[in-house]
Chain A
């Protein structure tokens, strides 16, 4: 469960450029919820993500993840709890390292092994099995450098890396926006499958209203650092594209 209490963040504080990104922001996301987060540019989505992931720290407020206060936990320590996939498919993987080596790095999360541990046969078998679930044939290319793969393939691997060790929270930052339509569809399907199979609590930022309506079981609209709309259950199922668009315009 993710609980956010009165979270505030202001940029360029005390200057004429001061801009309040989030003001006394609060939200609670239950275990297993898959939230699609909509909002225009400057609505505070990115700030919210960066605060949750630990790339930024708030001026005030608290962030609790499964009861643990993570508000000021350093980014790399928080990465043990939070999986993250970015918009740019080049961001999530190390291009000059092989598929196997990239997965080994992701697998370090929370396995609590010694720093001198090397990838074992069992690890390799596990990676192979995980890769085969992507259905891209990558399990036979474990020694290929990631930089040689396409954006879609890389994003699929990034998604796998973020979820291979089950995170307490998965953050998807417009992770299909930079892909061609076919790859985007495939990665979206993959996301839905991985999230539902693992019962992973997820927040997905998207600019696509269609995607926001098709995926997830809760929909939020952010506007000027506030939750302008929060739909769950019946309301989430019955909302139409037009109603959503009207909300955007307000």
Chain B
């Protein structure tokens, strides 16, 4: 793998780490599969692109977060106040977002941003312009968000959100408003997913209406790889796992791209990673049981 490819993967990896924090919050902390992701990722990217086009690339960071958070709130409201099943709520928001994303992108399916300045331009223009220069910005950003999340999940609100995902029955008998926990949790998760999209837009200097397709699976793949690397039993370790998993995922993809496999096979590979990683424990259990039965049989013979 060339240095350019390696550092390119690292840069994307740290952006995907922030995105994977969002997946971690919905899938692991709230324990709810959130399919808003595919839509909120693009919404964040589109919002970020608008800021870039209007010459305010830094505004793209809060704008993509706010846009993502708004999408998360919609999904949470559908779930809590309208009684729609979690998965369907996410699908509904994601579907509706397709039209909204197109509108934000001024009804164009692709927005090239090459000719505009973005948050990485100042570093690029300085002496730091060499492969991986964007990491100077991305690693501290991911680290700050990680620390902020670790802090947040120790506050009363953070504990309430964690308890809501951990034991809904307990929470119902406590003074925690579970609807509120879910709304805040989904807003937070999707704000990070939106930010991921916004950063990708500025890094790749383009936004495509279909760039969100399959992002849930990509996030899950990163999360699961991370959990294999760092066993998660706390928020801190979970988030560190998300970073490790996201970077590893991008490196795996970069490695695959150096082979003869076509780039179009990436989605299939992501899906396979998730399917295999989730099914491994089940198969392991079955094998153990079979082994045990075999040994028992041998003892009786």
Contacts and interface: CB of A to CB of B under 8 A. Distances in A.
Given A91-B167, A95-B166, A145-B233, A114 B175 contact: no
A95 B163 contact: no
A116 B153 CA distance: 9
Contact of B172 (A76, A118, A119): A76
Interface in B202-238: 233
Contacts of B48: none
B167 A93 contact: yes
Given A94-B166, A119-B154, A75 B159 contact: no
Interface stretch (A96-104, A126-134, A215-223, A231-239): A96-104
Contacts, number: 80
A91 B162 contact: no
Contact of A108 (B151, B156, B167, B173): B156
Given A91-B167, A93-B167, A97-B166, A79 B174 contact: yes
B173 A105 contact: no
B156 A76 contact: no
Interface string B138-158: 000000000000010011110
Contacts of B175: 76-77, 79-80, 108-110
Could you tell me the dominant secondary structure of chain B's interface residues? helix
A53 B172 CA distance: 10
A149 B173 CA distance: 21
Given A53-B173, A80-B175, A118-B154, A105 B166 contact: no
A116 B156 contact: yes
A75 B175 CA distance: 8
Nearest to A85: B173
A13 interface: no
A75 B169 CA distance: 12
A102 B162 CA distance: 10
Contact of A96 (B151, B154, B166, B171): B166
B69 to A, nearest CB: 17
Interface residues of A, number: 34
Interface in B149-191: 151, 154-157, 159-160, 162-163, 166-167, 169-178
A105 B155 CA distance: 10
B240 to A, nearest CB: 17
A250 interface: no
A55 interface: yes
B174 A93 contact: no
B96 to A, nearest CB: 29
A84 B163 CA distance: 17
A84 B171 CA distance: 11
Given A96-B166, A145-B233, A75 B160 contact: no
Given A116-B155, A116-B156, A94 B173 contact: no
Given A113-B156, A114-B156, A116-B155, A106 B174 contact: yes
Interface in A141-194: 145
A86 B166 CA distance: 17
A76 B155 contact: no
A115 interface: yes
B155 A115 contact: yes
A86 B159 contact: no
A92 interface: yes
Given A76-B177, A97-B163, A105-B160, A91 B154 contact: no
Interface of B: 151, 154-157, 159-160, 162-163, 166-167, 169-178, 233
The 7 closest A-B pairs by CB, nearest first: A94-B166, A115-B157, A79-B175, A94-B167, A94-B163, A116-B155, A84-B173
Given A75-B172, A118-B155, 6 more contacts: A74-B177, A77-B175, A92-B173, A113-B156, A116-B157, A119-B154
9 contacts: A76-B172, A77-B175, A93-B167, A93-B170, A102-B163, A108-B156, A109-B175, A110-B175, A118-B151
